[in-house]
């Protein structure tokens, strides 16, 4: 049974069998916002109410640090403008980490249409065995590129699972974003971190939300307040 994570909860990356969890996916699932609109008709006659869906663009990203809190690698959308990233001392976005240990499926600009399809919209695959020895902390975070805050996004949920981007074999842990009242009015969420303790990796569900309007602000916040 999946672990329902709570803010501030720490878990060992260990299966019920005692085996280490070293290969898994971190995914975020969400839907577009449905609303009612009137269409058709002539001179006010024959109009009908239809359900439409407004696109929602959430961005799942991660940043990696060494044991001294130095930023070593990153995964975030290549669609972010390089000149804006440069203002925060950041490199352009990419979808594969230096060693290939972590891979991003790419930017989903819409969210699910017509209800939850059971698959995550953006996913980062993780293979801890391929991480460089210099990586000690990995932070996962979300940014909302649109006008909405997290409380308005249908069934926004984060989960760690075994499988592939197109097939969920076993959900290890999940975190329900929409259910948290403190996310109202917030557009950036530091979800959690993988951190190395000795030779083992653990996960900390941070769950801190902010009003950051740009990814660079969130990475700067992580570097200054969480990674040190």
Break the chain into its structural domains and give their ranges: 3-33+50-225
Closest alpha carbon to 112 in 211, 32, 12: 32
pLDDT at 92 over 90: yes
Task: Please state, rounded to an integer, the average pLDDT across all residues of the chain.
Answer: 91
pLDDT 10s digits, 137-155: 999 999 999 888 888 888 8
pLDDT 10s digits, 36-63: 888 776 666 667 888 888 999 999 999 9
pTM for this entry = 0.92
pLDDT at 180 over 90: no
Rounded Cα distance between 61 and 74, Å, is 8
Rounded Cα distance between 115 and 52, Å, is 12
Can you list the alpha helix ranges (DSSP code H) found in the chain? 82-86, 215-225
pLDDT 10s digits, 4-40: 988 889 999 988 788 999 999 999 999 998 888 887 7
What's the CATH number of domain 3-33+50-225, 3.40.50.360, 3.40.50.1000, 2.60.60.30, 3.40.50.970? 2.60.60.30
Percent of the chain with pLDDT over 70: 96
**Helix, strand, coil content of the chain in percent (nearest 5):** 10, 45, 45
């Amino acid at each position: 049974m999946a672990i329902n994570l709570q803010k501030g909860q720490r878990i060992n990356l260990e299966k019920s069998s005692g085996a280490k969890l070293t290969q898994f996916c971190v995914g975020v699932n969400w839907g577009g916002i449905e609303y009612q609109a009137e269409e058709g008709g002539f001179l006010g006659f024959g109009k009908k109410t239809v359900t439409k869906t407004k696109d929602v663009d959430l961005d799942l990203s991660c940043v990696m640090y060494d044991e001294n809190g130095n930023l070593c690698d990153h995964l975030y959308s290549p669609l972010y403008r390089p000149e804006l990233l440069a203002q925060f001392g950041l490199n352009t976005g990419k979808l594969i980490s230096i060693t290939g240990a972590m891979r991003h499926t790419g930017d989903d600009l819409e969210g699910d249409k017509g209800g939850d399809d059971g698959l995550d919209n953006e996913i980062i695959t993780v293979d801890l065995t391929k991480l460089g020895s210099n990586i000690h902390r990995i932070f996962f975070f979300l940014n909302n590129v649109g006008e909405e805050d997290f409380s308005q996004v249908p069934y926004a949920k984060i989960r760690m699972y075994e499988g592939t981007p197109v097939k969920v074999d076993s959900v290890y842990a999940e975190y329900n974003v929409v259910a948290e009242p403190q996310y109202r009015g917030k557009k950036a969420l530091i979800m959690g971190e993988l951190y190395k303790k000795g030779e083992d990796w653990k996960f900390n569900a941070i769950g801190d939300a902010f009003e950051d309007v740009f990814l660079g602000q969130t990475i700067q916040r992580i570097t200054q307040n969480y990674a040190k």
